[in-house]
Amino acid sequence: MYSMVRSLIAVSALGLLAMPVRAQNAPAAAAGGVEFFEKNIRPLLVERCYECHSAQSKKIKGKLWVDSKEGLLKGGDTGPAIVPGNVEKSLLIQAIRYAHEDLQMPPKEPLTKAQVAAFEQWVKMGAPDPRVGGAAAVVPATQSAPPYDYAKARQFWSFQPVKDAAPPAIRDAAWTFNDVDRFLLAKMEEKGLTPVAPADKRVLIRRATYDLTGLPPTPQEIEDFLADASPNAFEHVVERLLNSPAYGEKWGRHWLDVVRYADTSGCNSDWPVPDLYRYRNWVINAFNADKPYDQFLKEQVAGDLMASADVNDRNQKIVATGYLANARRFGSRNNEFHLRACLTSRLTPARGGAASG
């Protein structure tokens, strides 16, 4: 009843003509609040708070979950963490301000003034938060978070051992050339779809070359393929493309994008990092050498600790750890010096220069 009266008073004071304007601006304001949360608040919660106050924590401190909107509103032992619209009554703000000796978060390294100001602005905006669910939504404040079910997690499809699957039965067996085709056709038949006509040789080599190298085929490569009447002509094209240096350059880019590779430091001044190309080349060479994926990961994380066959092998494993320096270089120029230390001072000069490229 109170909310209805308040709304009627507001309409009388501002006039009915203002209502469409507010109605149009409300979604935009809500979207802007969510965007502010995603850019300024969520990253800080994940980086600085989730270790002790989320479903992934080994032990929830203060029985406070901050990995959902419900968790912040419910709060922990000391009460609700936030009061939307009221900065001074929000315990989360008091904690990150270090306003009280017994309520200081994060405990070891305070947030910067700019980060605290972002949280204050967010609460003033009404604490917009698109996150729903989470442990706090279903676990009472007096109960600990449920233990992590490792056995259930190991059943997830990507953790299952690789095994051969029997090709499915299909109606049009004449269309297929191999078992992969049988899987494709089975799904198309299930959906009531009919395969399109086979691509001609010009289209086929163009698609394959773009897919594997990111480049168009040369006129000579096209002519050679058209002239090859052998039944394995297309296999020869694929093998040639897989053995091309351009293959690693094309597909190595996907990994470099994932690890946020750049030739500059990414800090405020964006200093160049002259030696980071070594790591880029290592990734490209790993793809071209068909390095096993588990080895590919291990060398980037701990290559300097792994056994080496010779000096060149050791140098390349050290270069692989450029992944670590690349991932941590954002924020200050000091990380550039760390990167240089990883990629230059620890390298043993290699004969012929092969390991330094």
pLDDT digits (tens, 9 = 90+) for 65-102: 788 888 888 888 788 888 898 888 888 888 888 877 67
Regarding whether 272 and 235 lie in a shared domain, the answer is no
**Looking at 189, 215, 243, which one is the last position of a domain?**
243
Tokens of 88: 């001074």
**Looking at 209, 243, 277, which one is the last position of a domain?**
243
Regarding whether 133 and 30 lie in a shared domain, the answer is yes
**pLDDT computed for residue 8 by the predictor:** 32
Alpha helices in the chain (DSSP H): 2-14, 18-36, 42-44, 69-74, 91-96, 113-124, 135-138, 150-153, 179-190, 201-213, 219-227, 233-242, 245-258, 277-288, 293-302, 311-320, 322-327, 334-340
On whether residue 154 sits in a domain, the answer given is no
On whether residue 73 sits in a domain, the answer given is yes
Regarding whether 210 and 108 lie in a shared domain, the answer is no
Of 32-46, 254-268, 279-293, the range with the highest mean pLDDT is 279-293
More confident residue, 103 or 21: 103
**Looking at 99, 123, 138, which one is the last position of a domain?**
138
Q: Would you say 355 and 278 are in contact if contact means Cβ atoms under 8 Å apart?
A: no
- Between CA 89 and CA 145 the distance in angstroms is 26
Regarding whether 323 and 272 lie in a shared domain, the answer is yes
- Between CA 182 and CA 184 the distance in angstroms is 5
| Residue whose entry in the numeric block shows the structure tokens 């990883």 | 342
On whether residue 313 sits in a domain, the answer given is yes
Regarding whether 264 and 232 lie in a shared domain, the answer is no
Tokens of 287: 């793809």
Q: Is 15's pLDDT higher than 90?
A: no
What is the separation of C-alpha 291 from the centre of its chain, rounded to a whole number of angstroms? 23
Regarding whether 25 and 113 lie in a shared domain, the answer is yes
Regarding whether 280 and 225 lie in a shared domain, the answer is no
Tokens of 119: 């949280």
| Structural domain of 38 | 20-138
Q: Is 330's pLDDT higher than 90?
A: no
Provide the number of structural domains found in the chain: 3
Mean pLDDT of 220-239: 96
pTM: 0.51
Regarding whether 206 and 114 lie in a shared domain, the answer is no
Regarding whether 264 and 218 lie in a shared domain, the answer is no
Regarding whether 110 and 64 lie in a shared domain, the answer is yes
On whether residue 189 sits in a domain, the answer given is no
Burial of 30 (0-12, 13-18, 19+ CB in 10 A): middle
> For 314-325, how does the pLDDT look when each residue is reduced to its tens digit (9 = 90+)?
999 999 999 988
Mean pLDDT of 51-61: 76
Give the closest residue to 66 by CA, choosing from 147, 142, 143, 136. Answer: 136
- Between CA 62 and CA 65 the distance in angstroms is 9
User: Which band of pLDDT confidence, cut at 50, 70 and 90, is reported for residue 307?
Assistant: very high
DSSP letter, residue 174: G
For the beta carbon of residue 103, count every other beta carbon within 10 angstroms: 15
Regarding whether 92 and 53 lie in a shared domain, the answer is yes
> For 185-224, how does the pLDDT look when each residue is reduced to its tens digit (9 = 90+)?
999 999 999 999 989 999 999 999 999 999 999 999 999 9
On whether residue 203 sits in a domain, the answer given is yes
